[in-house]
A and B are shown apart, each in its own frame.
Chain A
Amino acid sequence: MLLKELCQRSGPSGWEDDIRSFILGQIKADEITVDTMGNIIAHKLGGGKKVMVAAHMDEVGFIVSGFTDEGFVRFKTVGGILTTVLVSKKVLLGEKKVPGIISAKAVHLQKREEREKLIPMSELYIDIGAKNKEEAQNLLNLGDYGVFAGEYTEFGDGLVKSKALDDRVGCAALIELMKNDYANDMYFVFTVQEEVGLRGAIIAANRIRPDYALVIEGTTCSDVYGTKPHETVTNLGGGAVMTAMDRAAVSDRRYFEMIKSLAERENIPLQIKRTSSGGTDAGSIQRSGGGVKTAVLAVPCRYIHSPVSVMSKSDFDSVCRLSAAVLKELERREL
């Protein structure tokens, strides 16, 4: 299954090689370019407007920053990961996918005040089982990247659990959308380094200079125990999510309204994201060149940026159907 394979590939921001080579094997276009940062730009020639459809292929992860004399691995996070979900999780490091456990001292050895606090990042390390620094350095180099070891599992009422749903759901949607025929001049872009500041999208948009962009994402969903109703942001199973505004971009109003009425017409469940925090590649694309009209459609993901992010297959389906309808509508309409 495509989404499963996409999720299992590694692609921490800055080292997207594994996921990139997998995606390159999955897509066909008139012209496929891998640019200097590693974005995949797949061009399907057409006569009309230039439309850029983007999803980021990178995921949050880790980078090896040092070794202790005892052979433990020091690391930094790549992208935003809460320390809450780090302790005692399995990670895979480097090209050889060396298994390691993010570790901290045992609960019995923590003082009372330590027990009530989160362990600061600076005190966490990865245990790969090496006996000393030399053995650790034989297995890993400074600057080697790592990712969570979070397998793809289907469970509950049509739900999926995996690492990296953000944004392999977008990659999966793009690969599906590329199979359709379009009248417009279409650019399907799998971007890099979204998680460290929407970086890949900057140069991709500069190269393409699109008229319109549609960004497909995985987004926050907190409809879970302990969250107040007004803080849930999105609902799992509530359909595709559209962003009106976040920290990085404001959706074009006419584009936004067009998508809203399309969803109604096509009977596709749609919810509007109920927060202005977060940011996507739309932020970089919108402000590229002389400016671009952008919109964001997303699949709600619980526990995003953790090894156990969770999505609903029905929401993914809604995003795919609505995105296809949007791209068709852009052939008929000028905003």
Chain B
Amino acid sequence: MKIEEILEKLDAPLGVSGSEEAVGSAVKDLLAPCCQTVTEDVLGNVTGWYRCGRENAPVVMIEAHQDELGLMVSGITDEGSLLFCEIGGFDPKTLPGTEVTVHCETGNYFGVIGAKPPHLVKDAAKALAVENMAVDIGFKKEQTEKIVRVGDIITLNTGYTKLAGSAVAGRCIDDRGGLAAVIRTMELIQKYRLSCDVAAVATVQEELGLRGARTAAAQLVPDAAIAVDVCHGTSPGVSDNAFPLGKGPVVSVGPNLHPKLTRQLLDRAKEAGIEVQIDVDSGDTGTDAWEIQVAGAGVPTALLSIPLRYMHANYEVGDSRDIENTARLMAAWLLSYKGGDDLCF
């Protein structure tokens, strides 16, 4: 499937950290045609297995997180609007004027995050804090209290949008882009005979602190792992610690990443003619790789990132070619991986 097609299927279903059922079932549907088995664990991590058929074959985990940021109802105002808090960290400046869906037991309700009219804004330079915003669902207090409860989840309605060329925009390319790369990798390896079993994992609760990755890796304790996430893309005023879109996946180096595995990925990229960029991470990468590395007796782990502009805004912008090339690179490495002392120091 084309990356755009996978992304579109992954972008629509919701998966706020802790409530990943909808996106999880979309992941299962996408993995089913290229896996022998697809399972879900107690926290909601989804794992699809592509086994090579050899006994005691080494296990490789390729993964991305399926959860996304969201909001949660924290109160009801006298006007009947909803106060809210964040699940994960949005940029509050992007919220006023945004359309949302409130997910209630009584059904889903449309709403907008309001903004005061111009003549009532006292300090025009000051950004509005989340505590001073409210979701307007168009009902008065008595009606609102009947349908909405504190703790109900609110999601943004910003949907997948194709931009010029190969650029894509969406509510959570972080990390549905990574997830698309993982699913695409599973498609790419179908026609080949591998020397390892591949477990494609969509983890939960990454945005809350890499929680799903910890339990997923603990169950698998794979022989090697590749995490796929996003990194900052360059844009006006952003050049440090950021990478241009369309120039290929970003391979991280640093203490979180296994030097030999990383070296092999760079070699495969060179052989396959895949352009890559290098990110130097001096410690915590802030990704699932950080947890996976220390699972069980330890897992050689690598991190591939897709450059992404405006991370954690209403719309995040990435490049579908970078996602496709991330998948091609993972597939190339999987074909070459033999296990044994391949990754020993």
What residues make up the interface of A, taking CB atoms closer than 8 Å to B? 68, 70, 72, 80, 82, 84-90, 98-101, 103-110, 115-120, 123, 125, 127-131, 135-136, 139, 153, 155-159, 161, 220-227, 231, 233, 275, 277-278, 302-308, 310
Given contacts A125-B236, A224-B79, A303-B114, contact A99 B310 (CB under 8 A): no
A135 to B165, CA, bound (A): 9
Contact A116 B127 (CB under 8 A): yes
Query: Of the candidates B90, B114, B116, B165, which one forms a contact with A130 in the assembled complex, judged by CB atoms under 8 Å apart?
Result: B165
Residues of A within 8 A of B238 (CB): 105-106, 109
Contact B91 A106 (CB under 8 A): yes
Residues of A within 8 A of B235 (CB): 70, 72, 103, 105, 127
Query: Of the candidates A129, A233, A302, which one forms a contact with B317 in the assembled complex, judged by CB atoms under 8 Å apart?
Result: A129
A275 to B312, CA, bound (A): 38
Contact B91 A100 (CB under 8 A): no
Contact A222 B117 (CB under 8 A): yes
A123 to B166, CA, bound (A): 25
> Quick one: CB contact mask for B297-337 with A, threshold 8 Å, 1 for yes?
00000000000011111110100000000000000000000
- Is there a chain A Cβ closer than 8 Å to B258's Cβ? no
8 chain-A/chain-B pairs, Cβ below 8 angstroms: A82-B115, A100-B163, A105-B235, A156-B138, A157-B139, A161-B99, A225-B81, A308-B113
Q: Please give me the 7 A-B residue pairs with the lowest Cβ-Cβ distance, nearest first.
A: A156-B138, A129-B167, A129-B163, A85-B97, A107-B91, A88-B94, A88-B314
Given contacts A88-B313, A99-B161, A118-B93, contact A80 B116 (CB under 8 A): no
Contact A310 B79 (CB under 8 A): no
- Is there a chain A Cβ closer than 8 Å to B340's Cβ? no
By beta carbon, the residue of chain B nearest A275 is: B119
Contact B241 A109 (CB under 8 A): yes
A104 to B242, CA, bound (A): 14
Q: Count chain B CB atoms within 10 A of each CB in A86, A103, A153 and give the residue with the most.
A: A103
Residues of A within 8 A of B344 (CB): none
By beta carbon, the residue of chain A nearest B315 is: A101
Contact A131 B165 (CB under 8 A): yes
Given contacts A109-B238, A116-B127, A135-B164, contact A155 B97 (CB under 8 A): no
Contact B119 A277 (CB under 8 A): yes
Contact size range, B: 35 or more
Residues of B within 8 A of A87 (CB): 91, 93-94, 313
Contact B312 A107 (CB under 8 A): yes
Contact B312 A161 (CB under 8 A): no
By beta carbon, the residue of chain A nearest B135 is: A225
Residues of B within 8 A of A161 (CB): 99, 110, 112
Given contacts A103-B235, A128-B163, A130-B164, contact A156 B139 (CB under 8 A): yes
Separation in Å of the A164 CB from the closest CB of chain B? 14
- Is there a chain A Cβ closer than 8 Å to B339's Cβ? no
Q: Count chain A CB atoms within 10 A of each CB in B128, B165, B313 and give the residue with the most.
A: B313
* B50-101 at interface with A (beta carbon < 8 Å): 77, 79, 81, 83, 89-91, 93-94, 96-99
A231 to B120, CA, bound (A): 8
Contact A103 B309 (CB under 8 A): yes
* B144-185 at interface with A (beta carbon < 8 Å): 158, 161-169
Residues of A within 8 A of B132 (CB): 226
Contact B232 A108 (CB under 8 A): yes
Given A103-B317, A107-B311, A118-B125, 5 other A-B residues pairs in contact with their CB atoms under 8 A: A88-B94, A103-B313, A103-B315, A156-B138, A303-B114
By beta carbon, the residue of chain B nearest A150 is: B99
Separation in Å of the B314 CB from the closest CB of chain A? 4
Residues of A within 8 A of B168 (CB): 129
* B210-269 at interface with A (beta carbon < 8 Å): 232, 234-238, 241-242, 246
A81 to B242, CA, bound (A): 31
- Is there a chain A Cβ closer than 8 Å to B191's Cβ? no
Contact A225 B114 (CB under 8 A): yes
A129 to B163, CA, bound (A): 5
Separation in Å of the A299 CB from the closest CB of chain B? 15
Query: Of the candidates A117, A131, A220, A223, which one forms a contact with B127 in the assembled complex, judged by CB atoms under 8 Å apart?
Result: A117
- Is there a chain A Cβ closer than 8 Å to B140's Cβ? yes
Separation in Å of the B144 CB from the closest CB of chain A? 9
- Is there a chain A Cβ closer than 8 Å to B30's Cβ? no
Residues of B within 8 A of A101 (CB): 161, 163, 169, 310, 314-315, 317
- Is there a chain A Cβ closer than 8 Å to B126's Cβ? yes
Residues of B within 8 A of A233 (CB): 117
Residues of B within 8 A of A127 (CB): 163, 167, 169, 235, 309-310, 317
